Chains A and B, each alone.
Chain A
């Protein structure tokens, strides 16, 4: 029997951690900066980890970022983050899966 061709293999789903999901929920359709996410998450995301998590999410393609053009030039421009289409789709898929699992568990 011949080996399975590469294109026949199911594509791996992107992994989305609870913390990444929490961040995504706040940046769907809107741009926010890191400290804003800390405040909005009500303690679920901490100052010490939000930037590392955002950087990782950007590498995974869940969010995209750009410097804030409204920032005065005295300091560095703040970086604004927004969910990508992949991020939105992953978050939606996670929510659907959670609902299904909860229904089965009942």
Chain B
């Protein structure tokens, strides 16, 4: 019997049942496999390979859904965010095993663990839970990408491929819809801007932040929200330009000009941070007013923590402090806080529009 004579998908289903449990496989994966097995059987010998390929190409969505919605019988789903961040941590550690990298990787893993636990606790809640799981994993991205931005150029690799890889996931959040999802996406997009400022290497990050935020704004959003992406981009890019001007200024540059450039850069960064924080806090407060749930309240608290973190961080730059050395205010801290904020924001479908028209 040739390899093609075996009914395709049988072994895949057997493996999936072990990994994800019977229920999730029966709901999300078996209908696809059953359809393509029937098509495969009805096709002539010459067309079977094509049918099998079509089935394979249709597989990613149902397979991902099976993994994310796996029941207690499954072993992989609760570990998905953990595996993702562990892989990133190993990658970072592998590039340069310095104490700094080790500390970043540790924060990465802690954030991952928090995302896993919170995501696993929430995903039983249906679509919002699924979103929480994705958001939890994504919330640690600023940590991972922040480290990657520092390291990848030194290795001669393209800058920040991780961000580009995350964009499809962010688009998936948009597809899920809902004002709360948009709020979560906004917080995430804006957090990229903070990482951009922190890493000194981020025109791309600024663009990603602006695009991310813009993607999630719909025509129905209020005018002030529409104005946010360009302001954010201008703020971050202005900050970067100001810093570059200071860094590249000749040593004999007039002290007053140097000071002005420095102040301008700091002011632009502060503007970006304020815009970002206002947006996050406003969305979180509206979410709390909307349904008064504990999750929404947590979102508000987390957003304020995020605001405090951003303010301290940005004010530290003109003061010459190294905030990243303070664990509670480092990337890991903001990743954990962002995890809470995102999960809180994603805690339930909105009963009415989040932002008052």
Q: Please list the residues of chain A having a beta carbon within 8 angstroms of any beta carbon in chain B.
A: 12, 15, 17, 33-35, 47-49, 51-52, 54-56, 58-59, 65, 71-72, 74-79
Of B9, B31, B36, B349, which contacts A79 at CB under 8 A?
B31
The verdict on A71 contacting B32 (CB below 8 Å), with A47-B58, A48-B57, A48-B60 known, is no
The verdict on A75 contacting B61 (CB below 8 Å), with A52-B28, A55-B27, A55-B28 known, is no
Q: What is the CB-to-nearest-CB distance from A36 to chain B, in angstroms, rounded to a whole number?
A: 8
Residues on A with beta carbons closer than 8 Å to the beta carbon of B248: none
Residues on A with beta carbons closer than 8 Å to the beta carbon of B13: 76
The verdict on A48 contacting B61 (CB below 8 Å), with A33-B35, A78-B35 known, is yes
Interface residue B7 (Cβ < 8 Å from any Cβ of A): yes
Residues on B with beta carbons closer than 8 Å to the beta carbon of A51: 28-29, 31-32, 58, 61-62
- Whether B41 lies near A75 (C-beta < 8 A) is yes
- Whether B28 lies near A75 (C-beta < 8 A) is no
Q: What is the CB-to-nearest-CB distance from B292 to chain A, in angstroms, rounded to a whole number?
A: 10
A34, A48, A52, most chain B CB atoms within 10 A: A52
Q: What is the CB-to-nearest-CB distance from B352 to chain A, in angstroms, rounded to a whole number?
A: 10
- Whether B41 lies near A47 (C-beta < 8 A) is no
Q: In the complex, A12 Cα to B290 Cα: how many Å?
A: 14
Residues on B with beta carbons closer than 8 Å to the beta carbon of A56: 127
Of B29, B39, B349, which contacts A35 at CB under 8 A?
B39
Q: In the complex, A84 Cα to B142 Cα: how many Å?
A: 44
Residues on B with beta carbons closer than 8 Å to the beta carbon of A48: 57-58, 60-61
The verdict on A47 contacting B31 (CB below 8 Å), with A35-B39, A55-B65, A56-B127 known, is no
